[in-house]
Amino acid sequence: MKVVVTGAKGQLGRDLVRRLRVNRGGVFGYGREELDITRMESVRQVIDEIRPDVIIHAAAYTKVDQAESDEEQAYLVNAFGSRNVAIAAEEFGAKLCYISTDYVFDGKATFPYKEYDRTNPLGVYGKSKYAGEELTKTLSSKYFIVRTSWVYGVHGHNFVRTMLRLAEERDELKVVNDQIGSPTYTVDLAEFIAQLIATEKYGIYHASNTGTCSWYDFAKAIFEEAGVQVKVSPIATEDFPRPAPRPKYSVLDHLAIRANGFQDLRHWREGLKDFLKELGSVRD
């Protein structure tokens, strides 16, 4: 099976390429420099050359706050770039796996979101990613849409690495305690996606590590597992204003994973433990 991965230099993309190479299939990873998804001719050229069986579309504009003032670029990448990838996938008969986000929901629910619950993104980032979902569904006949949340891995900037860095610089940290979600380790997400694309069980999936926490709870767990001593104090979202609104509750129900007979992702704390081991080995 030949697989093209867009966004292959991102934290999820790198782990996808590494995981897929275990199968010894042809894996072709492209970063922004090698593949400009906003240019149709660039996408067609790559897909025509590789003729993949599957395209995993992990490339995205992910700067949530910057998107509020850079709306056109966010849509250019997340919507129109995804349109280009979907068209090329359909032209060459490839399966398409589009990586999406919990930000397609408004966070006003009090129960986990199922795959077919009503979406209502609050900010430009979420709206542009949802536009990419709609274009994927419209233009591809063999698609998987995988929504995930609170992603972290060793190959990128993320909450876990930020907390560890700040703990070296400060005696006390204040972390938001009224946003609830599920942290997701890229290695676990990549494993699920590798299993998913080998099937024809198309549709929308929610995939995050299981269990829930607030950012404050997550920060405390990071320091406990890392053996780091630092005072962590809870604050409200209103005490830490950001340009882009965040969903207060973005827990994802994994109905499609259960219904289609897949193994669910493990608890987020177990993923965190393995991440810290991996990070330690990379640093060493």
Where do we find the tokens 């796996």? 97
Burial of 241 (0-12, 13-18, 19+ CB in 10 A): exposed
Question: How far apart are alpha carbons 9 and 181 in whole angstroms?
Answer: 25
Exposed e or buried b per residue across 264-275, where buried means at least 16 C-beta atoms within 10 angstroms of its C-beta: ebeebbebbeeb
The reported pLDDT for the residue numbered 283 is 59
Backbone angles phi, psi at 260, to 5 degrees: -100, 10
The mean pLDDT value of the chain amounts to 96
Read off the pLDDT band of 130 (50, 70, 90).
very high
From the options 1.10.357.10, 3.40.50.720, 3.30.470.20, 3.30.1370.60, give the CATH code of 2-158+182-212+250-283.
Answer: 3.40.50.720
Judged by phi (left if over 0) then psi (alpha if -120 to 50, else beta), residue 7 lies in: left
158-174 average pLDDT score: 95
Asked if 73 and 123 touch (Cβ cutoff 8 Å), the reply is: no
Which residues participate in catalysis according to the annotation?
A: 125
The reported pLDDT for the residue numbered 281 is 64
Backbone angles phi, psi at 105, to 5 degrees: -105, 155
Each residue of 79-99: pLDDT tens digit? 999 999 999 999 999 999 999
132-138 average pLDDT score: 98
Whether 109 has a pLDDT exceeding 80, the answer reads yes
218-242 average pLDDT score: 95
The reported pLDDT for the residue numbered 282 is 58
The reported pLDDT for the residue numbered 275 is 97
Whether 150 has a pLDDT exceeding 80, the answer reads yes
Domain segments of the chain as ranges: 2-158+182-212+250-283
The reported pLDDT for the residue numbered 22 is 77
Whether 24 has a pLDDT exceeding 80, the answer reads no
The reported pLDDT for the residue numbered 34 is 93
For 32, residues 6+ apart whose C-beta sits below 8 A from its C-beta are 7, 9, 59
pTM: 0.95
Asked if 56 and 19 touch (Cβ cutoff 8 Å), the reply is: no
244-272 average pLDDT score: 97
The reported pLDDT for the residue numbered 156 is 87
The helix (run of H) or strand (run of E) holding residue 143 is strand 143-148
